[in-house]
């Protein structure tokens, strides 16, 4: 993952899928600071995976990556 804050990584990943920031309120869905602390507390060999939905997308956060998957 990059050196950018996790929240920005999530927003960027959602925008890359075509979801505008005004289409959701992420702060109502997750506690971004708590999620970042959780991810930062794990090592690269940890199998941590956090999933949550934003609109029609599933966001998957691991210690190494943020991925956005379109749900059907």
pLDDT at 66: 95
CA distance 8 to 69: 17
pLDDT tens sequence across 13-24: 999 999 998 888
Binned at pLDDT 50, 70 and 90, residue 57 comes out as very high
Vertex 11 angle, CA 1 and 35, to 5°: 60
Mean pLDDT value across residues 33-47: 87
3-state secondary structure of 31: coil
Integer CA distances (angstroms), 18 to 22, 45, 70, in order: 12, 32, 11
**Model pTM above 0.75:** yes
The 10s digit of each residue's pLDDT in 26-37 is 888 899 999 999
């Amino acid at each position: 993952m990059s050196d950018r804050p996790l929240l920005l990584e999530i927003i960027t990943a959602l925008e890359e899928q075509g979801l505008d920031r005004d289409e959701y309120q992420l702060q109502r869905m997750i506690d971004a600071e708590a999620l970042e602390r959780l991810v930062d507390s794990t090592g690269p060999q940890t199998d941590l995976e956090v999933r949550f939905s934003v609109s029609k997308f599933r966001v998957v956060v691991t210690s190494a990556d943020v991925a956005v998957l379109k749900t059907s």
